[in-house]
Amino acid sequence: MSRTGGPEVMEYVDVEVGAPGPGEATVKHEAIGVNFIDVYFRTGLYPQPLPNGLGMEGAGTVEAVGEGVTHVQVGDRVAYAGRPNGAYAQVRNVPASLLVVLPTQIAFDTAAAMMLQGMTAQYLLHRTAHLKPGDTVLWHAAAGGVGLIACQWAKVMGVNLIGTVGSDEKAALAIEHGAAHVINYRRENFTEKVKELTGGEGVSVVYDSIGQDTFYGSLDCLAPLGLMVSFGNASGPVPAFAPSELQSRGSLFLTRPTMMHYTAKREDLEATARSLFGVVASGEVKIAINQRYHLPDAAQAHIDLESRNTTGSSILVPR
């Protein structure tokens, strides 16, 4: 993309991929993940220098390694999630520090669909909040990519997940994946429904990736001392607000996390990926790849994602 805007700013062009620089590896992609954050970069909500590529996640085979790279070798099956953007490509150079070697049980398409969304569900459930079996949380967009993984993982942890979704079909899907209750927030007031489901108490944690449209309603779902995890802006960024909004609702806590910080240290990246590979290899969490596109059709993937027509994960396939 050489400008920000709608899906039409994405161009399928040839670029020269040189030899990997120091600390880089050349990865030939077998599959590429599509994530809502790609939309934020495309529209310019999250700025980046232009012209630039899009995409933060892929899986494939190492074709070459640059100077100083020791933990991956030519021929390794690898996957990654992280910046810089540029994963919507057949082949690219990636900082080797992002690469994780894939266990043989994890297929390339599964890896490309889950590295970003699955590691996000992992840190949000295991590290951002300190959840115990029996806790009840609210998770918005429960039938989305991160959402369907969270529904299953929360169930494994014994956590009751109340999900919100935009259609009855999505509600059925979230229940099938382990959500304890689902609210169609296009038809019902989710705050009132959460209060009803929790006997008036509210939940201990809200996971809100919708942003602008749900922020205050989400705060109103929390029990006193509850934690608001604002981790995305699918409907637009959260407007500025006064800290007293947290006090008046019961001394609430607020965090605005991103996966980049939770996986910045190599040991954290490896532990997070290992935890994800574990639940996927055991079958406790299944990765629902519900949309597949050829790489040149990446714009269609964005159109579908933004129009709320997708469920689970979406991938691009280079050939």
**Per-state percent for the chain, helix, strand, coil, to nearest 5:** 35, 25, 45
Q: Which is nearer to ligand NDP, 69 or 173 (CB)?
A: 173
Kindly report the backbone phi and psi dihedral angles of residue 184, in degrees, each rounded to the nearest multiple of 5, phi listed first.
-85, 100
Q: 232, 291, 301, 316: which one contacts ligand NDP (CB under 6 A)?
A: 232
Tokens of 67: 């100077």
By CB under 6 A, what part of segment 256-285 binds ligand NDP? 257-259
Distance from C-alpha of 286 to C-alpha of 273, rounded to nearest angstrom: 15
Terminal C-alpha separation, the chain: 21
Give the total of residues touching ligand NDP (CB under 6 A): 29
Q: Is 141 in the site for ligand NDP (CB under 6 A)?
A: yes
By CB under 6 A, what part of segment 166-195 binds ligand NDP? 166, 170
Tokens of 93: 């150079």
Q: Is 231 in the site for ligand NDP (CB under 6 A)?
A: yes
Q: Is 289 in the site for ligand NDP (CB under 6 A)?
A: no
Q: What is the DSSP letter of 49?
A: -
| Selected range binding ligand NDP among 62-70, 251-259, 281-289, 290-298, rule: CB under 6 A | 251-259
Q: 114, 143, 206, 298: which one contacts ligand NDP (CB under 6 A)?
A: 143
Strand order in the sheet with 203-208: 181-184, 160-165, 136-139, 203-208, 222-230, 253-255
Q: 28, 155, 286, 308: which one contacts ligand NDP (CB under 6 A)?
A: 308
Q: Is 247 in the site for ligand NDP (CB under 6 A)?
A: no
Q: 85, 93, 120, 136: which one contacts ligand NDP (CB under 6 A)?
A: 120
Other CB atoms within a 10 A radius of the CB of residue 213 amount to: 16
Element (H, E) at 277: helix 266-281
Distance from C-alpha of 14 to C-alpha of 238, rounded to nearest angstrom: 37
* CB-CB contact of 32 with 315 (8 Å): yes
Q: Which is nearer to ligand NDP, 78 or 81 (CB)?
A: 81
Q: Is 117 in the site for ligand NDP (CB under 6 A)?
A: yes
Q: Is 209 in the site for ligand NDP (CB under 6 A)?
A: yes
Q: Which is nearer to ligand NDP, 201 or 216 (CB)?
A: 216
By CB under 6 A, what part of segment 25-44 binds ligand NDP? 35-37
Q: Is 291 in the site for ligand NDP (CB under 6 A)?
A: no
Distance from C-alpha of 39 to C-alpha of 135, rounded to nearest angstrom: 33
Q: Is 292 in the site for ligand NDP (CB under 6 A)?
A: no
Q: Which is nearer to ligand NDP, 131 or 165 (CB)?
A: 165
Kindly report the backbone phi and psi dihedral angles of residue 166, in degrees, each rounded to the nearest multiple of 5, phi listed first.
-100, 5
Q: Which is nearer to ligand NDP, 25 or 165 (CB)?
A: 165
| Selected range binding ligand NDP among 3-11, 84-92, 207-215, 244-252, rule: CB under 6 A | 207-215
**Exposure string for 82-106, b = 16+ CB within 10 A, e = fewer:** bebbbbbbebbbbbbebbbebeeeb
- In 3D space, the residue among 267, 272, 269 whose CA is nearest the CA of residue 122 turns out to be 272
Q: Is 207 in the site for ligand NDP (CB under 6 A)?
A: no
Contact positions vs ligand NDP (CB under 6 A): 35-37, 116-117, 120, 141, 143-147, 165-166, 170, 209-210, 213, 231-232, 234-235, 257-259, 305-306, 308, 310
